[in-house]
Amino acid sequence: MHTFPVIQVEDILDVYRHWHARSQKYAGGDSLATALHLGWELKPVVFTELHWFSGARHNTIFHFELTRDGENQSMSVISTPYVEKLIAERDLQIVPLSRQKPARVRLGRRPASYGGEARV
């Protein structure tokens, strides 16, 4: 386990942000910056997925794998200019998460009491 001098944490108090997967589904760029400052290293591949909203709006989520002292951690980070710059500067490979095939819904027989034709 790492121990860090207080002075290191004080150096980044303006962006220091603790994050844990059990408390937040998505992290911000500040949480990623804090992890890197605390000695976590990024693996060279970053997975990405788009979350679409109504219309043509979307958010990009980057899924980072981090390592430190034999420990591994996954961090899903909402895209920001800082995160995109970090990916570019470190020349990380971006791989889209494969889309799963949509589930096929099979309609059962509709009882005659509904009126109308039964479907299969």
Domain boundaries, the chain: 26-97
Is 46 a residue whose pLDDT tops 80?
yes
Which pLDDT score is estimated for 115? Answer: 52
Q: Please, which residues have CB within 8 angstroms of residue 64's CB and are 6 or more apart in sequence?
A: 32, 42, 43, 46, 74, 75, 76, 77
Q: How confident is the model at residue 101 (pLDDT cuts 50, 70, 90)?
A: very low
What's the pTM? Answer: 0.67
Residues 12, 37: Cα–Cα separation, whole Å: 8
Distance CA 50, CA 58 (A): 6
DSSP strands (E only) in 31-105: 41-42, 45-52, 58-68, 71-78, 93-96
Cβ contact 53:36 at 8 Å: no
Q: Decide which of 98 and 99 is more confident.
A: 98
